[in-house]
Every structure is written in C-alpha cells, then in structure tokens.
C-alpha cells in the first residue's frame, strides 16, 4: 500500500475530514482545516507578511482541502488559487469554496509542483506554501517557477520543517517520514537556493517550537480519539500517525530537525 496516497485520500474523505476536525479543534483551538504544524495564529502572521489586498492574487502550493486559501480570501478579500496533486483534496477544496460562496474568487487546480507551473509569467502577487517544499526534491526548479509566475515585487513565503542541523539516523528518518518521501536539507541551503532563483531574502523565522507544541497536542488528541481514528483510518495509518508525530517532537525538541519560515521578494 502506498501510505502517502492512501493516508491523504482517507484524510480528505467525509469520515476523515470529520475525524480531523475533532482532532484539529483539540490541537489548534481555531481550526481552519489545516493538516500541518501551522496554527491559525501563525497563519495570520504569514498573511500579514505577504500583505495581500483585495486586488491581490495569491497562489498556494499544496492547498490540501482548501481551508487556508478560503481563510485568506475571507479575511483579506484577495483572490486565491490553490495547487495540489491530490484529486480528493481538490474536490474537497472546490466544495468548500462553493459552500462559503467564494467560487468566484477562490479556485483550485490539480497539478504537480515538480513540473513547470501552468500559469503565465507574472500572474501572482504572492505565493504561499506551508510545509510543502520539503516533499519536493527539485527545490531550485520550483523556486525558479515561483519567481517566474510572481509579479515584480511579489512575495514568496514557505515553511520547511525538515531543515537538518544535527545527526539523524536512517531509522529516525524512516519513522519521521512514514507517510511518504521527504527531503532533508542542510541549514543555509534554502537561503542559497532562493538567491540562485533570483529572490531577495527578507527574513527567516525559526518555528521549531511550534512543531514541539503541535506534536504534543496531537499526541494527546490521538490518544483521546484513538478508537475513532482506528475505525476511520485503520490501524496501520493510526499507528503511523502516532509514531511519526512522536518522532517529529523528539527531533524538533532536540533541535536536530528544525522548521523555518522563509520570506523572500522578487526584485522590482
């Protein structure tokens, strides 16, 4: 079984979304549909740094069930386009935008971010990607595509929870990345690649503590809803979630894998 695809397909199903809502409300407090280390408070800070207006068009790479894109459009009035490679996630996102009456301003497209982005040059005012770049090996190719589809002065903000700053064993990596491939990257390399792609780096923020906090809350929520998780997602996926979350907490708490938010700008 391809756990990566299977876990996400189940997560985006009706029963999976209901289960994740229960867990999400325990973990994040204010839950907007995220399946990540990002709290809604953190997302508001990200939106402020991207500074979209009602005239802006924002691309989200790895839009999942559409919760973040819909939240951005609702709170800022901006247009949003989400890109994701999971059909079930796209269907869920389209339904959410329609439910919120935002189908004229929020759109979702199926696509692989490892291929050239299917948007014209200078389409977007901002690009956001939460914990998505770590899944994509051709980082420089993607950054160059982001640079191409941004308008002059446009901003890119992405988070990377797989920045390597200590020794991590192959067994630890296997547990941490149980649901699919992930790319560890040495500290400083994202900054270097942003420069190569033509971006001006504006800031880097260490968000490792958020991994520790969210992981601990997730562990408590998984324990609380363990039987329901097994019934909705199966024993294998439930066990994988629990062990992967515990490993993420350990590696972050010991500052061996850290999470960083990068904010960059395309030159005017």
pLDDT value at residue 231: 87
Which helix (H) or strand (E) element contains residue 228?
Answer: helix 226-233
C-alpha distances out from residue 121 to 51, 82, 114, 159, 198, Å: 20, 17, 17, 23, 15
Region 3-266: CATH code: 3.40.50.150
**Confidence tier at 1 by pLDDT (50, 70, 90):** very low
The 10s digit of each residue's pLDDT in 128-187 is 999 999 999 999 999 999 999 999 999 999 999 999 999 999 999 999 998 777 999 999
The 10s digit of each residue's pLDDT in 63-121 is 999 999 999 999 999 999 999 999 999 999 999 999 999 999 999 999 999 999 999 99
CB count, 10 Å around CB of 140? 13
- Residue 193 reports pLDDT greater than 80: yes
What are the structural domain ranges in the chain?
A: 3-266
């Amino acid at each position: 079984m391809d756990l990566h695809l299977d876990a996400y397909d189940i997560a985006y199903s009706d029963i999976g979304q209901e289960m994740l809502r229960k867990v999400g409300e325990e973990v994040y407090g204010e839950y907007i549909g995220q399946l990540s280390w990002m709290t809604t408070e953190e997302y508001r800070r990200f939106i402020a740094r991207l500074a979209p207006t009602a005239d802006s068009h924002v691309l989200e790479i790895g839009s999942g069930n559409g919760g973040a894109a819909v939240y951005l459009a609702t709170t800022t009035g901006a247009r949003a386009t989400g890109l994701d490679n999971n059909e079930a996630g796209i269907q869920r996102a389209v339904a959410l935008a329609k439910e919120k009456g935002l189908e004229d301003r929020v759109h979702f497209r199926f696509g692989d971010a490892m291929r050239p982005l299917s948007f014209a040059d200078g389409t977007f005012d901002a690009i956001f990607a939460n914990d998505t770049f770590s899944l994509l090996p051709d980082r420089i190719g993607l950054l160059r595509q982001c640079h191409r589809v941004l308008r002059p002065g446009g901003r890119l903000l992405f988070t990377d929870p797989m920045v390597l700053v200590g020794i991590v064993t192959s067994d630890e990596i296997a547990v941490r990345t149980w649901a699919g491939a992930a790319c560890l990257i040495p500290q400083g390399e994202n900054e270097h690649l942003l420069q190569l792609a033509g971006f001006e780096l504006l800031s880097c923020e260490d968000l490792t503590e958020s991994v520790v906090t969210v992981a601990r809350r997730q562990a408590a929520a998984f324990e609380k809803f363990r039987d329901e998780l097994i019934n909705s997602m199966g024993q294998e996926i439930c066990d994988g979630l629990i062990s992967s979350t515990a490993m993420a907490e350990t590696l972050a708490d010991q500052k061996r894998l850290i999470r960083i938010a990068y904010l960059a700008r395309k030159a005017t």
